[in-house]
Chains A and B, each alone.
Chain A
């Protein structure tokens, strides 16, 4: 259902979609049966002259089973759903496959900064590459991300990856994703973060290995010690709002832009 609207662009996107479909398939008959029963009873037992209602306490076992059995059914299906849901949850959030790449994601009011460790694979060195509001990724690589926030809560959300994770100041939250489709997708901030919340957009660009390598090479090295300590950033909220409003995509470049299907 979801893939009608949003591309499945990560290794676990299809799992999340399948889980949602499974739940829909399980709950839909329940829902329809309950609604049908409701409307049928309303129609069937509408007041008619001379007809009196029946006296049913609902406390006898023969009557109770009308409620008890559906309720056991609910329980059984709950168990199925929990098992399926936690398997997906484990895959996305707990069992992280070994990383092939790292990226540090820093949220702040109201911009995303993405830091790649560069050729040496180490953060906080001179060859780090940092981009604002554009995350360049290589297709089919397994990325571990390290999510920070400089000020308030934000939430790193990439609908095409079926990934969402809150960023909490004072914490480095680890997670992973593996892009599987080249193209360009939205990054949202999904947790209200002040007046610029609606502007806190970024784009993920997923490239072929060659294109990503080309970009890595050409990208300007901005030696920076990514400040991940919370809050103390001296800009007032107002000032950084102005900065954000005028900031645009910093890295324009040429290559091979395969748009993902939408």
Chain B
């Protein structure tokens, strides 16, 4: 990296390409490793959805670049799409890439507390990605039992017909969890111990709070699933019967272990996403966040409640029906803090001076689209309505209206916002906006029709509806085709982003240290920050969102600039 060595840890310059970029303990390099791996996996995840949506829209036709899709391949593609997008795109990009890049910079320290653990975390993650991608190539193909991997289907090659793929899937997921446990330890420890002098917990930017809460959620919820995964592996390989009723096991056990992790996991990826959105909205509306503490408390509340909602995935799974009452209540309760968080973001805009730069467009789109995901979730949390809607495309459209804003929209908001800091150059605004509108409009064209097919009874993971007379109607097929066309348009707009990304890396305008006139500490470091981050470690004098403070000439007031002004702030 550059020659402005941070005073804290000077040694790492001139160490050659491998030491600098592949074997580095620098949190920023590790963040980029996670980011690029995540983006690469997103391309694979995008390709899988392209293939299986083409099959749904045009059943039996050869798909360009793939060929005919068999029922088995269809299941593998669906499974891998879900697995990759959640575990190998959302997690590494939102949690690991932004967490690694931002936490030390925003806290004003030179690196993570455990840099070598951090490096190990990425290496294990990379290994997990390799294992997962390799499973496409084994005999029988990649695992085809859905990303939830319910046994007995997942536990026996006789049932799923992808015996090697199933085992590699479990191994890859387990490795991935190890990677994120190591990363999470770092995030939490660093946030607790390495804040700049003067920075109290309530001076910490929201995104850091969110990543720390998400890491704690992850660590607290993943244990049962790791135990479950080991048992699943034993069932697959050693012939044990943890999930096999014939030998006294119970398939429902896995569902409890999986969703006890799986629902907090939704918030593990959601919280960093809303954190990114908070940062961007504050900067581009030149406003103090409306109720900083409210956001922190709602995030904490969401985190706690998220441990008590898991069985809403299992209303009709054969659990005691009386349990549905309890989990319906907790599920609808969790809508309260989430709704409050969204209200807070909307309220922040009031009285602002809003500039619709590309990152802001993404952040506002997050709020607008996530609202759809939120209100449609109410239908599913209500047990009586879930009887009909469960496992239909309504569910699918609902969680894509949450996950797409989380994993894709907020990631684009974050990348376009911090790109100048990451690489020292500005991204092209015009290309950014073309990409934004192409993506957002196409996204809605995909999923609004799928709400309708779901209401009409389309159930999930069906590679050809012609066997179902009530569903094999021209009207429904027409909607399926619209959704697929929307997907093609969405995918067609993504090269615009990659082109913009690469071109800006090479030829973008040189970025000043603080191009967005932002308050948080990462903007006090040079762009891009050298190893060690700050020429001089900053001190903190106020909270992160002192925008448009009365009595100051400038409409921002960075955390590290000493001084006080009449009327407001410290």
Interface residues of A (CB under 8 A from B): 1-2, 5-6, 15-17, 19-20, 23-24, 27-28, 30-31, 34-35, 37-39, 41-42, 45-48, 51-59, 63-64, 66-67, 70-71, 74-75, 78, 81-82, 84-89, 91-94, 109, 151-153, 155, 157, 159-160, 162-171, 173, 184-186, 188-199, 201, 203, 229-232, 236-238, 262
- CB neighbours (8 Å) of A185 from chain B are 470
Interface residues of B (CB under 8 A from A): 70-72, 74-75, 144-146, 150-153, 158-161, 244-246, 250-252, 285-294, 315-318, 321-322, 324-325, 328-329, 332-333, 335-336, 339-340, 342-344, 346-356, 364, 367-368, 371-372, 375, 378-379, 382-385, 387-392, 455-457, 459-465, 467-471, 547-550, 555, 568
A88 (CB) vs chain B CBs: closest residue: B384
- CB neighbours (8 Å) of A46 from chain B are 353-356
Could you pull out 11 A-B pairs where Cβ atoms are within 8 angstroms? A5-B457, A58-B291, A66-B347, A74-B340, A85-B385, A88-B385, A89-B324, A155-B391, A165-B318, A171-B245, A231-B244
Bound-complex Cα distance A17 to B388 (A): 9
Distance (whole angstroms) from the CB of B420 to the closest CB of chain A: 19
Distance (whole angstroms) from the CB of A7 to the closest CB of chain B: 9
Distance (whole angstroms) from the CB of B378 to the closest CB of chain A: 5
Distance (whole angstroms) from the CB of A238 to the closest CB of chain B: 7
- CB neighbours (8 Å) of A238 from chain B are 161
With A53-B352, A70-B339, A157-B391 already in contact, the answer to whether A197 and B461 are too (CB < 8 A) is yes
Known: A2-B456, A31-B372. 20 other contacts (CB 8 A): A6-B470, A28-B375, A35-B371, A42-B354, A52-B555, A53-B353, A54-B548, A56-B288, A56-B290, A58-B347, A82-B328, A88-B383, A88-B385, A89-B328, A92-B384, A153-B150, A186-B468, A198-B462, A201-B468, A203-B469
B390 and A190: CB pair below 8 A? yes
A262 (CB) vs chain B CBs: closest residue: B470
B316 and A155: CB pair below 8 A? yes
- CB neighbours (8 Å) of B286 from chain A are 47, 52-53
B384 and A159: CB pair below 8 A? no
Number of A-B contacts (CB under 8 A): 314
B471 and A85: CB pair below 8 A? no
A198 and B71: CB pair below 8 A? yes
Bound-complex Cα distance A5 to B72 (A): 30
- CB neighbours (8 Å) of B469 from chain A are 184, 186, 203
Bound-complex Cα distance A29 to B518 (A): 36
**Contact pick for A38, options B153, B368, B549, CB 8 Å:** B368
- CB neighbours (8 Å) of A196 from chain B are 71
B382 and A164: CB pair below 8 A? no
B153 and A153: CB pair below 8 A? yes
B382 and A188: CB pair below 8 A? no
Bound-complex Cα distance A27 to B292 (A): 27
A38 and B364: CB pair below 8 A? yes
B457 and A6: CB pair below 8 A? yes
B346 and A34: CB pair below 8 A? yes
- CB neighbours (8 Å) of A191 from chain B are 150, 391
**Contact pick for A169, options B72, B145, B245, CB 8 Å:** B245
Bound-complex Cα distance A16 to B387 (A): 8
Bound-complex Cα distance A160 to B456 (A): 10
B375 and A58: CB pair below 8 A? no
A192 and B145: CB pair below 8 A? yes
Bound-complex Cα distance A109 to B144 (A): 15
B335 and A78: CB pair below 8 A? yes
- CB neighbours (8 Å) of B465 from chain A are 198
B159 and A237: CB pair below 8 A? yes
A20 and B364: CB pair below 8 A? no
A81 and B471: CB pair below 8 A? no
B351 and A19: CB pair below 8 A? no
A59 and B291: CB pair below 8 A? yes
B244 and A67: CB pair below 8 A? no
- CB neighbours (8 Å) of B329 from chain A are 82
Distance (whole angstroms) from the CB of B454 to the closest CB of chain A: 10
Which 5 pairs, one residue from A and one from B, show the smallest C-beta to C-beta distance? A170-B245, A88-B384, A85-B382, A58-B290, A54-B351
**Contact pick for A2, options B150, B315, B455, CB 8 Å:** B455
Bound-complex Cα distance A35 to B368 (A): 6
